[in-house]
Amino acid sequence: MSTLNLFNLPDVGEGLLEAEIVSWKVKLGDVVAVNDVIVEIETAKSIVELPSPYAGVVAQLMVAEGDTVDVGTPIIAIGSEVSAPAPAAAAPAAAPTPEAEVMKPLVGSGPKADAVKRRPRVGSAPAVATSVTAAVPAAAKAPAQVPASSIPTPVAARPNRVLAKPPVRKAAKDLGIDLTDVSPTGLRGEVTKKDLLSYQDQRTAEQDGAGTFWAPATGTGLADDPRIERIKVRGVRKATAKAMVESAFSAPHVSIFVDVDASRTMEFVKRLKVSRDFEGIKVSPLLILAKAVIWAAARNPSVNATWTGDEIIIKHFMNLGIAAATPRGLMVPNIKDAQNLSLKELAIALNSLATTARAGKTQPADMQGGSLTVTNIGALGIDTGTPIINPGEVAIVAFGTIKQKPWVLDGEVIPRWITTLGGSFDHRVVDGDLSARFMADVAAIMEEPALLLD
C-alpha cells in the first residue's frame, strides 16, 4: 500500500512560530533524496533552505508560495512508493494521523531570538492532493508514515467551501466579513485580498451613507486608487520594526558626536590598497573604524555589554556587528571574535559579510550574539545621525562620510579629510564620562592609525 510522509514546517532554531514559503525547489512528481533542498522559507531573520527528511516522490505541495504558516503545519507530502493515479474526490476528508505530528528542527541556527514572538493564528494551510506517477527508490523509508487515504481532501472537492488563502481568511475574520458574501475574482474562483478590501470599502460606504475615504473622480475608494501602493509588513521589516521600537523605548539612549581628522586614515588605506599583502582584498576606511572600535572597546569594556535588569553582563570578546542594507531590509550580522583577527583577516571578514548580506544569504546564527554595532551611513553621503542601539547591546557607532573640509591645524586653515562619528549608548550601563572616553579612543585611532601598533 502506498504511504505518504508529511513534512511539517520545523522550528529552524530561532524560536519563531511561523515562516513564509518563499519558493518551492521541487514540483509534483519530482523524485527527492534525503537532504535534498525542497523549499526556501523566510523567517523574521533570514531566508533558510530546508532539506527533505524523506526519500520518495513529491505527492503534494500543501502550501502555496507567498503564504505564511505556523510551525508544525504540514507543507509537503512525499510518497514512499509508486501509486496509481486516483481521483481526488475519492479521498475522504481526514486529519493527519498522530504519526505525522510536528517534527524536531532540521536546521540548528544558533540561540533563539528572545525578542521575536508571533501571535497564534487559527487554522492550517489547505492541502492540494495529487496522484504520484514517478518511480521511487525501493530503499526509501521514513520514520513517520501515514496512508495516502488519510491526507485531507483538496479544497476544491469540498462542497460549500469558499476558496481563499489563509491570510485572506484571517483578514476576513478580523473584519467580521462572511467570505460567502464576497464576489471572488481569483483565477480559480478564489476570494483575493483585493476582493476583501473592495467589499469592506463598499460595506463601509453603505453604513456611513457616503464614502469614508477620499476618492478620485472615478468614484472608486482609496483601496482602488492606482497611485496607492500597499506593502505587507512581514519578515525582516516586521522584525526590525519591533526590535527598534523596543530598543528605543526601553533603553534610555544618550548620543554624542565628534568631528575627526581622518587624513592619516585615508593615507593608510591608500597604502594598504597597493600593498602586496592586501592584493585582491577590498580595503576601505570602514576597516580602520572597525579596528578602532575593537581597540577602544578593549580599553572601555563596559560599552561591550548587555543589560538584563538584574545584572550587567560584560563581554571580554567582540562579536562586531555591521549594519547592512540588503534587498530584504536592514540586517546586522556580526563578525565572531573579531578581537582575534589581524587587520588583513578583518578585511576579509568584512568583505565576506557584505557579499553574503547583499546576496540575501545571511543566516540566523550570523546575527545572534552581537556585542557592539557599527553602521556606515557615510556610504550614502550622510554626515552623521543618531543611531538606535541594536537590542541586546549597549552601544552603536555611526560612521559618517569622509570629505575634504577646511580644518585648523597648527594655526593654519588647510583642507583635510574630515568625518563625524556619532555614538548612541544605553545610559543604564554607559555613563556620559565612559561614552566620551570610548568615542575619544575611536577618534584617536582614526586620526592616527599607527596607535594600533602599540
**What residues are annotated to the active site?**
427
Percent of the chain with pLDDT over 90: 44
Within-domain flag for 288: yes
Burial (CB count within 10 angstroms: exposed 0-12, middle 13-18, buried 19+), residue 406: exposed
On average, the pLDDT of the chain sits at: 78
Residues 12 and 77 in one domain: yes
Which cell numbers in the block locate residue 296?
577602544
CATH number at residue 49: 2.40.50.100
Within-domain flag for 229: no
Residues 430 and 408 in one domain: yes
Of these ranges, 80-84, 237-241, 283-287, the one predicted with the greatest mean pLDDT is 283-287
Domains held by the chain: number? 3
Residues 71 and 220 in one domain: no
Q: Quote the pLDDT of residue 207.
A: 57
Q: Quote the pLDDT of residue 342.
A: 95
Within-domain flag for 164: no
**How many Å apart are CA 75 and CA 125, to the nearest integer?**
8
Within-domain flag for 364: yes
Which cell numbers in the block locate residue 7?
513534512
Residues 129 and 249 in one domain: no
What digits encode the pLDDT tens for the residues 25-35?
A: 999 999 999 98
Within-domain flag for 230: no
What digits encode the pLDDT tens for the residues 173-187?
A: 878 888 888 888 877
Helix (H) or strand (E) holding 440: helix 432-447
For the question of whether the overall pTM of this predicted structure is more than 0.85, the answer is no
Range of the domain at 187: 169-224
CATH number at residue 422: 3.30.559.10
**How many Å apart are CA 61 and CA 39, to the nearest integer?**
10
Q: Quote the pLDDT of residue 223.
A: 57
Which one is predicted more confidently, 127 or 318? 318
Residues 297 and 203 in one domain: no
Residues 94 and 131 in one domain: yes
Residues 378 and 437 in one domain: yes
Residues 8 and 52 in one domain: yes
Burial (CB count within 10 angstroms: exposed 0-12, middle 13-18, buried 19+), residue 86: middle
